[in-house]
Amino acid sequence: MNRTLVTIGSLAVAVAMAAGQVSAQTSPAPVAGGNTTIGVVGGLSGGNGSGAALGGGFTFGLNDRLAIEGTGTYLYRGMGAEALNLNLGLLVNLLPADRKAVPYAAIGGGLYRASFDLGSNRLFGMMGSQYAAGTQMVPLQGMSGYGMMGGGYYGPSGMIGMMGMMGMMGSWNPSTQGAWPGPTFTPGQMPMFYANRLGPMTVPQNGMWGMRSFTDPALSLGGGVRLDLTQRLSVRPDARALVVIGNGDSYTVGVFSFNVGYRF
């Protein structure tokens, strides 16, 4: 998480410094129409499962230095995983808005909805026929793995009986209970931020794991530069860190995008 934030921050500062040098050598450009810009967004998302980002949004200028921004972005997070980010934020221009090149900082908040096809081979699909249908799975706290129990057995004694009791309690904590005394399974490339929230599970019939989704609040931090191509058409290279917050933990997604906007 810290590495992602440092990368985003460094890129935003570099873009802003470069834009400031360009802007210092250009004369102010007249603003056509109103203060509203609509645009389309394309780019890449990074982190645990990277892929394309596509969306759209608008900005509304409040004054020479401040603008409100609203965006909706679809993020492809690798096979079997996707997300939708809805954000409302504030853009702070580091130079007057009438320049041809205007670096800006951005801060905002909204909702981040992540969805997972648990049957994907990147997640639980890789389990194959390793465990029989009906096998109980107990979350191992502090890690993305599961403790695997015998299917259909709830006996009162022995190791399997102990596993059954832990399963009914909901999880196993290795820091206080020691290593899980049976086989374990880790769901491939699913972030621990989400894997820890799946709860107890059962291996389904025919590998039909289904979809699971999580909706959490998210902060958006970053910046970029607005470059005016004409009086109405502009482009904005932009770098953001989406800090998703849930269940007392956080998860960071980096988004590097290119916005093409039309002002009216």
CA-CA distance, 99 to 257, in Å (whole number)? 22
Residue in the structure block whose two tokens are 């389904």:
204
Q: Give the per-residue pLDDT at 38.
A: 97
3-class secondary structure for 125-189? HHHCCCCCCCCEEEEECCCCCEEECCCCCCCCCHHHHHHHHHHHHCCECHHHHCCCCCCEECCCC
CA-CA distance, 250 to 247, in Å (whole number)? 8
Same domain, 170 and 200: yes
Same domain, 134 and 107: no
Same domain, 205 and 217: no
CA distances, 86 to each of 13, 32, 69, 110, 203 (Å) = 24, 28, 11, 5, 34
Out of 209, 234, 253, pick the residue that ends a domain.
Answer: 209
Same domain, 217 and 112: yes
Out of 192, 209, 226, pick the residue that ends a domain.
Answer: 209
Same domain, 153 and 250: no
Same domain, 76 and 111: yes
Out of 185, 209, 233, pick the residue that ends a domain.
Answer: 209
Same domain, 30 and 109: yes
CA-CA distance, 139 to 208, in Å (whole number)? 20
CA-CA distance, 116 to 81, in Å (whole number)? 5
CA-CA distance, 190 to 197, in Å (whole number)? 11
Contact 43, 53 (CB under 8 A): yes
CA-CA distance, 237 to 144, in Å (whole number)? 35
Same domain, 217 and 111: yes
Q: Give the per-residue pLDDT at 73.
A: 97
Q: Give the per-residue pLDDT at 150.
A: 67
Q: Which two tokens stand for residue 155?
A: 């006996």
Range of the domain at 232: 2-116+213-263
Same domain, 8 and 56: yes
CA-CA distance, 73 to 86, in Å (whole number)? 7
Tell which residue, 64, 123, 112, has the closest CA to residue 86.
Answer: 112
Regions of the chain where pLDDT drops below 70:
1-34, 150-169
Same domain, 151 and 218: no
CA-CA distance, 205 to 132, in Å (whole number)? 9
Q: Give the per-residue pLDDT at 86.
A: 98
CA-CA distance, 110 to 72, in Å (whole number)? 10
Contact 253, 1 (CB under 8 A): no
Q: Which helix (H) or strand (E) holds 116?
A: strand 101-117
Q: What's the domain count of the chain?
A: 2
